[in-house]
Amino acid sequence: MEAPKMRVLILGGTTEASAIARHLAQDPRFAVTLSLAGRTSNPAAAPGLALRVGGFGGSAGLARWLAEEKIAVVIDATHPYAAQISHNADTAAAERGLPLCTVIRPPWQPDPADRWQTVHSMEAAADALGTEPQRVFLSIGRQGVGAFLRAQQHSYVIRSIEPPEDNALPPDTTVIQMRGPFTLEDEIDLLRSRHIDVVVSKNAGGAATYAKIEAARRLVLPVVMIERPYKAGRHFVATAEEALDWLVARHAMSRSDRGV
């Protein structure tokens, strides 16, 4: 008789989550659902993978969903700045007694040539820009842009995949709608052509969005770096590969528990 598949929920929205999901979709030991918040349109699907889009309704809604779907294991591979969903995952998995693995890529570390000012919130980043008008590359995605309404003396360039809502934007804002990855040359060209004075960034970590940090270093531009929020979880790994190793070990444990 065929062994039952281990039912896995992957909380996604990152390259790591997509890589884990794509890999597991090919593995007959697992039945995988990839969950996305629904912030971007046209999420990429993969054969053999169940995709669900939209919130669960807090930790209680997530706990209910885990029970209904008979999920055995949760992998939280959400973005380092997605703190709420990780809190919900930790709470709901604990309530259901489920193992939880949280994938969090290591933050970037400043190079001696970098000119970073580290701050703890979007509001603090807006204040750190100072009183004199600056041309700011606001590389923080769509969310949180509203915090910069308090610093309307600056002009902003925002690049995001989906357009931000107009009423959240400071008056002097140019939106560039583009999807990465961007090369170092792309980023140097952007910072030069837009006459940028300062870059505001989250410390996302990883290679995919690092070119702008390197470009700022080359052009000797300051970077206001917004620190990561606290991310709840119990077992943390840094890469998709480590999460897969952890999952395979859980699968082996569950088989030996069942005496298979």
Query: Which of 71, 80, 50, 13 lies closest to 254 in space, CA to CA?
Result: 71
Indicate whether 15 belongs to the interface with ligand NAP (CB under 6 A).
Answer: no
Tokens of 124: 């603090």
What does DSSP assign to residue 181? Answer: -
**Alpha-carbon dihedral angle through residues 169, 171, 173, 178, given to the nearest 10 degrees:** 40
14 or 102, CB closer to ligand NAP?
A: 14
Q: Decide if residue 164 touches ligand NAP (CB under 6 A).
A: no
Stretch 196-225 residues interacting with ligand NAP (CB under 6 A)? 202
Mark residues 95-124: x for contact with ligand NAP by CB under 6 A, - for none. Answer: ------------------------------
Region binding ligand NAP by CB under 6 A among candidate stretches 7-15, 90-98, 164-172, 240-248? 7-15
List, in sequence order, every residue forming a beta bridge with 166; answer none if it has no partner. none
140/198 with CB nearer ligand NAP: 140
Smallest distance, ligand NAP to C-beta of residue 93, A: 13
* Distance separating the N- and C-terminal Cα atoms of the chain: 12
Residue 114, burial from CB neighbour count under 10 angstroms (0-12, 13-18, 19+): middle
Judged by CB, which is closer to ligand NAP: 139, or 173? 139
**Is-contact 173 163, C-beta < 8 A?**
no
β-pairing, 50-53 with 155-160?
unpaired
CB atoms within 10 A of CB 175: 17
Note whether 14 binds ligand NAP by CB under 6 A.
yes
Q: Which of 12, 164, 170, 233 binds ligand NAP (CB under 6 A)?
A: 12
Answer yes or no whether residue 11 interacts with ligand NAP by CB under 6 A. Answer: yes
Using the rule CB under 6 A, which residue among 55, 106, 130, 180 binds ligand NAP? 55
Residues that bind ligand NAP (CB under 6 A): 11-14, 35-37, 39, 55-58, 61-62, 78-79, 81-85, 88, 141, 143, 202
